[in-house]
Amino acid sequence: MNFLSDRLGFGADYNPEQWSPEVWRDDIRLMREAGVTIVTLGVFSWATVEPEPGRHDFGWLDEVMDLLGAAGIDVSLATGTASPPSWLSRRHPETLPVNRDGVRLSPGSRQHYCPSSPVYREAAVSLAVQMAKRYGAHPALKLWHVGNEYGCHVQECYCDVSAGDFRDWLRERYGDLDALNAAWSTTFWSQRVTDWADVLPPRTAPTLRNPAQELDWRRFSSDALLACYRAERAVLQELTPDVPVTTNIMGMWEPVADYASWAADFDIVALDIYPEPKDPAAHIDAAFFHDQMRSLGGGRPYMMMETATSAISYRPPNRPKRTGLNRLWSHQAVARGADAVMYFQWRASAGGAEKFHSAVVSHGGSDNRIFREAAALGAELATLSDVAGGRVPAEVAVVHDYANWWALELDARPGELRIPERVRAHYAPLWHANVTVDVVPPEADLSAYKLVVVPNLYLCTDAAADGLRRHVEGGGHLLMSFFSGIADECDRIRLGGYPGAFRELLGLRVEEFWPLSDGERAGLSSGGSADLWADHIVPEGAEVLAAYTGGPLAGLPAVTRHAYGAGTATYLGTRPDEQAMRDLVADTLRLAGVAPVVAGLPAGVEAVRRGSRLFLLNHNDHPVHAAGADLAPLDVAVLPLRHDPAKGA
Ligand code: GLA
Ligand code: GLA
């Protein structure tokens, strides 16, 4: 259901309720000038559309829809339910979310609703119904945009209504209290429950909370947010079966919700992403999130629903994007599978909390660099319509899992591991090697991949362990890092020797974990050094690729490789320095027979194949000559690709 497939979309969030009808006319004129093809309309319009319960004021929105339609601009129409109006919080204070400490949050910001609140859900669904009835047949309507960034500010609510909802969710998952007690290891610290009424959210408690309870709480909270989206989607599908439905999810390093479990409910995946202009490696993180979004949709094109034309307002100091950077980063999205480039927002707000966030039209209007660069990009994307719908081939998968993320970062682990750093440490060497990857959950079908890279998969289901084992047995290759396969999905240790899920596959056992202190480094016999962590590895069939030359485990294996079935499993018991990691990844890629998209590129040049095009992105502040093209600083080349059947492009 990809309504965008014959061209690349270009546009922005459009919030006309902040402006007068004269400004709307100016907006439409400027949108045409900028080559805008699509806008997301009315994301925060609930209070304007429904000023009193059940009384709707659609006049202004009718006019805006007509203006956009007449200008040939598609509308991704918001149901408007992201920020409830003041009357809802006044009449139903129980819809306001409660935090872990029991504090009920006030209205006056946004997203101030309890995801489990039946009152909120009913009010949101009834607004969605009104919107569908009013605009379902409007020719400009191309997509429903439900809510906005679910969980961006409020990921969970600890109120009594949520507690009841949590108990129902647990009953569904475990059936009875005996199963729940077993799953939560409640014999520890006398936590056994004998009445459902005693089962609570993990509210603020004297010390460490039950980790399995925490984990189920995160799963439940993700499902509660998803249920809000699904409730609206269900009525939209019923009333407007031909209009695709989505919501915008976030490309950022926070495990807000288990997006892998949400993906099936998106007719098209929509990404909001705000790479930091001050961060010299921002484009590598961004590449990861783009790969993740493409993979969530099973390889189908997605939309970059929001990004910034220039400065972001919530990370001071707010540095503008220097000339060329918006174009470069927008092309990066297209290269990695986006069929739309859209900004928050069209016109910079005159008031409100985000007035210093950049937009396409600035406070000073359109006679400036930001608008001219955006308009030039709009014109350029219009020439690349053959890219729309194109696929991005990948022979390598990086495993990324939300339950693991939640579990790994809970308290009282042997060392302080953070998923953003851990994933980056594995993804960046692949990016530098110019190898395109998919980002997949651990239970995914891995048959398409020559190499699967597994950063620190502490929590691992039986299905995931079995899938990874079969991948290697069948001739695939694996690169896995320490502290993987330790616990089951209830955060219970897999007994009988670490790493319980992967001992046979890796051909080793780990006797003890030796986290290294801050600043402590251990040399590696293969070159370079390592820090953060050292597994005490006892090989049981694996060959030693590198041993520690110093540190607490001097002389013992640090990196191993095990031939298993028709493939190999390479294991990292530590964190090698950046160069050592790049060398090891390069070695594993060679072993797996994975070639870069383009070999021999200058550092900082990203190459991605999409459909029949090759994208070359120069992230450097100096010019380069790459793959036959001359690229200025921050420049992009989109070249025709000679068909290479081996790559399946
Ligand atoms: C204290 C407690 C124990 C245990 C240990 C280790 O001594 O009495 O129950 O928690 O700390 O943390
Ligand atoms: C998010 C939201 C937008 C806006 C931008 C910029 O992506 O969806 O409404 O707040 O961030 O901060």
Which residues, in sequence order, are bridge partners of residue 11? 38, 342
CA-closest residue to ligand 2 atom 10: 354
SS3 at position 367: coil
Q: What is the number of the ligand 2 atom nearest to the C-alpha of 306?
A: 7
Q: Which two tokens stand for residue 97?
A: 């979310």
Distance CA 347, CA 12 (A): 9
Q: Does the beta carbon of 357 sit less than 6 angstroms from any atom of ligand 2?
A: yes
One-letter amino acid at 217 equals W
110 CB-contact burial (10 Å; exposed 0-12 / middle 13-18 / buried 19+): middle
Q: What tens digit of pLDDT does each residue of 59-74 get?
A: 999 999 999 999 999 9
Q: Which two tokens stand for residue 396?
A: 């390598």
φ and ψ at 406, to 5 degrees?
Answer: -60, -45
Q: Does the beta carbon of 343 sit less than 6 angstroms from any atom of ligand 2?
A: no
DSSP H or E run through 616 = strand 613-618
Residue 291's CB: how many other CB atoms inside 10 A? 26
Span from the CA of 343 to the centroid of ligand 2 (angstroms): 9
Q: Going by DSSP bridges, is the β-strand pair 543-547/557-564 parallel, antiparallel, or unpaired?
A: antiparallel
Average pLDDT over residues 230-245: 98
pLDDT of residue 113: 98
Residues contacting residue 161 through CB under 8 Å, at least 6 positions apart: 94, 114, 116, 117, 118
Span from the CA of 189 to the centroid of ligand 1 (angstroms): 10
Q: Does the beta carbon of 120 sit less than 6 angstroms from any atom of ligand 2?
A: no
Span from the CA of 207 to the centroid of ligand 1 (angstroms): 11
Cα–Cα distances in Å, from 121 out to 199, 226, 232? Answer: 24, 12, 8
Weakest-pLDDT range from 280-284, 314-318, 425-429, 555-559: 314-318
Average pLDDT over residues 400-418: 97
Span from the CA of 220 to the centroid of ligand 2 (angstroms): 25
Average pLDDT over residues 323-332: 98
Q: Going by DSSP bridges, is the β-strand pair 338-343/302-306 parallel, antiparallel, or unpaired?
A: parallel
Span from the CA of 32 to the centroid of ligand 2 (angstroms): 24
Q: Does the beta carbon of 272 sit less than 6 angstroms from any atom of ligand 2?
A: yes
| pLDDT surpassing 50 at residue 602 | yes
Average pLDDT over residues 475-500: 98
Distance CA 15, CA 407 (A): 39
φ and ψ at 143, to 5 degrees?
Answer: -160, 140
Q: What is the number of the ligand 2 atom nearest to the C-alpha of 308?
A: 6
CA-closest residue to ligand 2 atom 6: 344
Q: Does the beta carbon of 344 sit less than 6 angstroms from any atom of ligand 2?
A: yes
Q: What tens digit of pLDDT does each residue of 610-627 get?
A: 999 999 999 999 999 999
Q: Does the beta carbon of 306 sit less than 6 angstroms from any atom of ligand 2?
A: yes
Q: What is the number of the ligand 2 atom nearest to the C-alpha of 44?
A: 9
Which one of 273, 289, 344 would you pick to mutate in the ligand 2 pocket, going by the greatest count of ligand atoms within 8 A of its CB?
Answer: 344
Distance CA 601, CA 298 (A): 29
Task: Give the confidence band of 4 by pLDDT, cuts at 50, 70, 90.
Answer: confident
Task: Give the confidence band of 642 by pLDDT, cuts at 50, 70, 90.
Answer: confident
Beta strands in 528-612 (DSSP E): 529-539, 543-547, 557-564, 567-572, 574-576, 605-610
Weakest-pLDDT range from 4-8, 47-51, 165-169: 4-8
One-letter amino acid at 39 equals V
Q: Does the beta carbon of 609 sit less than 6 angstroms from any atom of ligand 2?
A: no
Establish whether 149 is a catalytic residue.
yes
Distance CA 126, CA 146 (A): 13
Tokens 């400004």 belong to: 23
One-letter amino acid at 2 equals N
DSSP 40-101: EE-TT-HHHH-SBTTB---HHHHHHHHHHHHTT-EEEEE---SS--HHHHHH-GGGS-B-TT
Tokens 């120069």 belong to: 618
Distance CA 549, CA 533 (A): 15
Q: Does the beta carbon of 145 sit less than 6 angstroms from any atom of ligand 2?
A: no
Residue 494's CB: how many other CB atoms inside 10 A? 18
**Terminal alpha carbon distance of the chain:** 22
Establish whether 33 is a catalytic residue.
no
pLDDT of residue 251: 97
| Helix 419-432, helix 282-296: angle, nearest 10 | 90
Ligand nearest to the CA of 412: 1
Average pLDDT over residues 591-605: 97
Task: Give the confidence band of 648 by pLDDT, cuts at 50, 70, 90.
Answer: very low
Q: Going by DSSP bridges, is the β-strand pair 624-626/629-631 parallel, antiparallel, or unpaired?
A: antiparallel
Query: What share of the chain in percent tops pLDDT 90?
Result: 97
CA-closest residue to ligand 2 atom 9: 344
DSSP H or E run through 372 = helix 369-382
Span from the CA of 198 to the centroid of ligand 1 (angstroms): 24
SS3 at position 477: strand
Q: What is the number of the ligand 2 atom nearest to the C-alpha of 149?
A: 8
Distance CA 293, CA 454 (A): 18
Q: What tens digit of pLDDT does each residue of 355-374 get?
A: 999 999 999 999 999 999 99
Ligand nearest to the CA of 14: 2
Ligand nearest to the CA of 249: 2
SS3 at position 303: strand
| pLDDT surpassing 90 at residue 22 | yes
Q: What tens digit of pLDDT does each residue of 532-553 get?
A: 999 999 999 999 999 999 999 9
Span from the CA of 188 to the centroid of ligand 1 (angstroms): 12
Write down the catalytic residue from 306, 373, 489, 606.
Answer: 306
Ligand nearest to the CA of 313: 2
Span from the CA of 344 to the centroid of ligand 2 (angstroms): 6
SS3 at position 434: coil
Task: Count the residues in the chain.
Answer: 649
Angle formed at CA 75 by CA 72 and CA 76, multiple of 5 degrees = 155
SS3 at position 404: helix
DSSP H or E run through 523 = strand 522-523
Q: What is the number of the ligand 2 atom nearest to the C-alpha of 313?
A: 12
